[in-house]
Amino acid sequence: MKDWQKIAVDLKTSILEAVQIIDAGSVQIALVVDETGKLLGTITDGDVRRGILKGISLEDSVEKIMNTNPTVASTQDDIQSILLTMNLKQLLQVPIVDESKRVISLQTLNEMAKADHEENIVMLMAGGLGLRLRPLTDDIPKPMLKVGGKPVLEKIIVNLLNYGFKRFYITVHYRAEMLEEYFGDGSEWGADIRYIHEPVRLGTAGALAMLPETAKAPLLVMNADLLTEVNFHQLLMFHEEQRVQATMCVRQYDFQVPYGVVDIERTTIRKINEKPSHRFCINAGIYVLDPSLLNDIPKDTYLDMNTFFDGLLSKSQKVSAFALREKWIDIGAMNDFVRAQDEFDQDVSK
């Protein structure tokens, strides 16, 4: 936000005036500055509400409630470091100041994340046959099955658009024409959608070798048959923070053995565990990959992501796991499809 003067106030400004500025703007903050533009403090809605609880009147000056030690960034800081700071401190805005603490601009999380993600290519893997969902997938590809009145793939794309992603490649094979006819070039959704046609099924990693351009930023790769509420901002920032080549989203999975498990040593029973539970982390079908990794993927060869990551580990490549705590459903079988109708039934609009 370069026209930060619209949200600037001085020390004599009343809290009520500051509230009006905060409510009228989209950035939800007011900057307290002196006559030279030097930052003296910041005021948010939370500061106002805390002041009211302390008995401070809205007619009092902003000096009584302002944060006199706000987090700021310098003009020398890069976007990734600012985003990381905002994420760690759970900030929605950060003033950018020069060496004299004069305000230069205001960076907001929404603007920065959106600008950053516009360079990230999203690859959505939609070439599967959906065999476990037959007969529903006899005549329609699995990503086109409807949840909440819209195709699963549409819900995925709209969600990613809300996070600022614009550029999509969809890998297609089974019933490809149905996907292309429905989504077209993506302009109806404000997206740029292109297609990668797999001559034969290449798997979730093998299709990456067909990307027709060199990516300039980490790729977001995602199966087109899952629904999630994961925060994609946090995922990309985590990937950058870890300084790794690849990140896999993982999901906690608890499995209970429905029988008593007998611990035997030779022929002697040592212990019987009644219906024990085991906890695992499973592959959640969402990945962030450094573009350089695509150079090592063999062309026209089937390769799934688990094998691909095993290969990275065997070469001592740095990989990390991003644990999902948000809602997530992989629509792989009929019971998953039914559950998705209950948990992700909200409609989306184009």
Confidence of residue 32 (pLDDT cuts 50, 70, 90): very high
CB of 298 within 8 A of CB of 201?
A: no
Question: What is the residue range of 135's domain?
Answer: 118-343
106 and 138 belong to one structural domain:
no
Residue 348 lies in a domain: no
Mean local confidence (pLDDT), 6-22: 91
Residue 112 has a pLDDT of 60
Using the 3D structure, point to which of 114, 147, 178 is the last residue of a domain.
114
Per residue in 89-145, pLDDT (tens digit) is 878 889 999 889 999 989 887 666 554 567 889 999 987 776 676 776 677 888 888
Q: In CATH, what number is assigned to the domain containing residue 99? A: 3.10.580.10
CB of 277 within 8 A of CB of 255?
A: yes
Residue 295 lies in a domain: yes
318 and 306 belong to one structural domain:
yes
Residue 50 lies in a domain: yes
110 and 130 belong to one structural domain:
no
Mean local confidence (pLDDT), 156-162: 90
More confident residue, 69 or 25: 69
Mean local confidence (pLDDT), 244-265: 87
61 and 187 belong to one structural domain:
no
Name 163's Cβ contacts closer than 8 Å, sequence gap at least 6. Answer: 113, 114, 117, 232, 233
Using the 3D structure, point to which of 114, 134, 169 is the last residue of a domain.
114
Using the 3D structure, point to which of 97, 114, 131 is the last residue of a domain.
114
- Cα distance between residue 295 and residue 115, in whole Å: 26
Domain count, the chain: 2
Q: How many CB atoms lie within 10 A of CB 109?
A: 18
134 and 108 belong to one structural domain:
no
152 and 286 belong to one structural domain:
yes
Name 52's Cβ contacts closer than 8 Å, sequence gap at least 6. Answer: 58
Work out the mean pLDDT of the chain and round it to a whole number: 85
Q: Tell me whether strands 8-9 and 30-33 are parallel, antiparallel or unpaired.
A: parallel
Cross-strand partners of 281:
252
Confidence of residue 348 (pLDDT cuts 50, 70, 90): very low
Range list of β-strands (E), the chain: 8-9, 30-33, 39-43, 73-74, 93-97, 103-108, 121-125, 146-147, 150-151, 167-172, 192-197, 219-223, 226-228, 246-256, 260-265, 268-274, 277-289, 319-323, 328-330
Confidence of residue 258 (pLDDT cuts 50, 70, 90): confident
Residue 188 lies in a domain: yes
Residue 349 lies in a domain: no
Q: In this model, does residue 28 exceed pLDDT 70?
A: yes
Name 336's Cβ contacts closer than 8 Å, sequence gap at least 6. Answer: 329, 330
Residue 266 has a pLDDT of 81
194 and 295 belong to one structural domain:
yes
Taking the CA atoms of 129, 135, 139 and 144 in sequence, report the sign of the dihedral they define: negative
Residue 94: both structure tokens together: 């950060």
Q: In this model, does residue 75 exceed pLDDT 50?
A: yes
Using the structure block, give the residue that is written with the tokens 């969809």.
170
Residue 350 lies in a domain: no
93 and 220 belong to one structural domain:
no
Cα 254 to Cα 136, 271, 276, 282, 330, distances in angstroms: 28, 22, 10, 10, 15
171 and 36 belong to one structural domain:
no
338 and 321 belong to one structural domain:
yes
266 and 135 belong to one structural domain:
yes
Please tell me which of 68-72, 242-246, 322-326 the model is most confident about, judged by mean pLDDT. Answer: 68-72
Residue 100 lies in a domain: yes
55 and 151 belong to one structural domain:
no
- Output the DSSP codes for 184-214: TTSGGGT-EEEEEE-SS--HHHHGGGG--S-
CB of 221 within 8 A of CB of 120?
A: no
Q: Is 144 helix (H, G, I), strand (E, B) or coil?
A: helix
For 88, the enclosing helix (H) or strand (E) is: helix 79-89
Residue 198 has a pLDDT of 87
Confidence of residue 307 (pLDDT cuts 50, 70, 90): very high
Among 61-65, 86-90, 98-102, 189-193, which stretch is predicted with the lowest mean pLDDT?
A: 86-90
Residue 301 lies in a domain: yes
Q: In CATH, what number is assigned to the domain containing residue 130? A: 3.90.550.10
